[in-house]
Structure 1
């Protein structure tokens, strides 16, 4: 891990290492401010206690972030939980921010993106049932959308879901699947116009339990055989990979691209 999750240090580290995109999680404070926090409560990732929705932005800003995956035994860093506006400023023009909106209004998120002039700096994650008005506003504002498809939880077949997603004109389609044929279905329906995004993280950072987000395509396996995991995903049309091993992935991609360029 380059730095603690949802921190300015994490964004800065991604920029320094040439990482194309960093995910952040958005929640709303008691007084209506957007802050970066993965969990509903601040307990795991900071030296504080309580639900984000019960704390003010000032109270959250006074906390300090715990290192790496957090927890009571993790070291307390010098970093404070940032606001969304601070994260946008840190990333502006330097790396893309993948917005995982945990508990926040899509309109408020877009308000802050537009106020910061950061329309080209974000990829906004939306569900298939996102309000049409929010989708239309995002397109008018030039905010790129990413639609999430979770095979285990979806009431639709992959084909049905991907046609619905395509109608939303997203820049990317994030796939969570058990059956790898889901990728092929998405590629056919997207006609190469929609980027395909997968997660290869092996274990949940909080619990340590397997995440099982992309079948057998995991970081743990990729570290042993990157071409069989990351390379195989690229060969199937995946152009965006979210990982807990960004430096190893970048190293692999650069090496693979050099090898490809050298081939006659």
Structure 2
């Protein structure tokens, strides 16, 4: 239970006292304080808006990876927006999930075969309704400019690991590298070595988060090795689920008491995902306990509450409004200096 989980903090070797963010700091700085100091904020669950946060209550309201979606996520109080980055034909970084334009814009063809000027003629569409918006495909620079000092940005790199250097260079040029989180999958010692070399070549001043999935890793000991290699403020854990499986009762091998203890010792967040993957069963990367369970079955406690009880202090979701509202109403969120405390309207679901 949550009380048991929080009591594990008594065993943390916490020798440095870190002050909480003040009201005079930017919103991004306040969020960064909580992201960088996990053990200081175990009583707060941060929310990440997947693909910038396009959905509410099962309906797509904004084009994914759009600045309009980012603005909505900021207004909701999300701490991080996740966006996907690819490269145009002329080498410019653009915000786009698919390698093809067909699903998310009114254009067709491969992203990499269009120049930036050509991509700028494409307009983002709202999936489901097919409504064409006025917003063009964004460059990474435009996206980061829109988010600067307001929210953290998690870049999902759709290219090779060496491309991260160029993406961080854009953030550095804007003076906001520390507000950017990049991530890579890790599954064995060789991969740790390769990614560590790539991160070292980029330098410091940005946030790196490893990803570990239980299709390849089933032991918290590997996460401890990763934590030692990178000193990361968070590790993303994935509980894969086959179509015929029932809802996970434990969170899988990675969401274990040993993992939670390792997170405390290493002072890092456990990051869980509840968003859906196209053409996969509901909750595919959440042991069945994904956003569909929260929305369609009206069981947010069995989704967001479940992962919070198993140590997650960051949850990435397609439903940021529902997640924030439920977590706040059930005492899983601590208001920021400029926020009012939520009314005592705890959900029974």
Query: Which TM-score tier does this pair reach, normalised by the shorter chain?
Result: 0.7 to 0.9
Write out per-residue CA displacement over residues 192-246 of structure 1, whole angstroms, 9 at most, x where no aligned residue: 5111111112x33x54753510103211222422223212211221011111111
Question: SS in structure 2 opposite 1:229?
Answer: helix
Give the gaps of 5 or more residues in structure 2: 1-54, 56-60, 241-250, 335-340, 345-349
Say whether residues 1:119 and 2:155 are aligned partners: no
Question: SS in structure 2 opposite 1:79?
Answer: strand
**In 2, are the aligned partners of 1:17 and 1:247 still within 8 Å (CA)?**
yes
Say whether residues 1:86 and 2:142 are aligned partners: yes
> How far is the alpha carbon of 1:187 from its aligned partner?
2.1
Say whether residues 1:163 and 2:224 are aligned partners: yes
Match of 2:213 in 1: 150
Give the gaps of 5 or more residues in structure 1: none
Match of 1:38 in 2: 97
Match of 1:136 in 2: 200
Alpha-carbon spacing, 1:161–1:28, altered in 2? closer, same or farther (3 Å): farther
Question: SS in structure 2 opposite 1:232?
Answer: helix
- Normalising by structure 2, we get a TM-score of 0.67
> How far is the alpha carbon of 1:33 from its aligned partner?
0.6
Question: SS in structure 1 opposite 2:330?
Answer: helix
Distance in 1 between the 2:252 and 2:222 partners?
16
Please say which of residues 38-47 and 167-176 is displaced more in the overlay. 167-176
Say whether residues 1:175 and 2:237 are aligned partners: yes
Distance in 2 between the 1:228 and 1:143 partners?
34
Distance in 2 between the 1:90 and 1:250 partners?
22
Distance in 2 between the 1:108 and 1:23 partners?
18
**In 2, are the aligned partners of 1:114 and 1:141 still within 8 Å (CA)?**
no
Distance in 2 between the 1:79 and 1:208 partners?
29
Distance in 2 between the 1:91 and 1:25 partners?
15
Distance in 1 between the 2:222 and 2:239 partners?
13
Match of 2:155 in 1: 99
Match of 2:310 in 1: 236
Pick aligned residue for 2:262 from 165, 182, 189? 189
> How far is the alpha carbon of 1:98 from its aligned partner?
1.1
Alpha-carbon spacing, 1:210–1:234, altered in 2? closer, same or farther (3 Å): closer
> How far is the alpha carbon of 1:19 from its aligned partner?
1.3
**In 2, are the aligned partners of 1:119 and 1:141 still within 8 Å (CA)?**
no
Question: SS in structure 1 opposite 2:135?
Answer: coil
Alpha-carbon spacing, 1:142–1:258, altered in 2? closer, same or farther (3 Å): closer
Question: SS in structure 1 opposite 2:137?
Answer: coil
Question: SS in structure 2 opposite 1:62?
Answer: coil
> How far is the alpha carbon of 1:34 from its aligned partner?
0.3
- Normalising by structure 1, we get a TM-score of 0.87
**In 2, are the aligned partners of 1:135 and 1:168 still within 8 Å (CA)?**
no
**In 1, are the aligned partners of 2:271 and 2:313 still within 8 Å (CA)?**
yes
Alpha-carbon spacing, 1:225–1:143, altered in 2? closer, same or farther (3 Å): same
Structure number with larger C-alpha Rg: 2
Distance in 2 between the 1:78 and 1:235 partners?
41
**In 1, are the aligned partners of 2:327 and 2:333 still within 8 Å (CA)?**
no
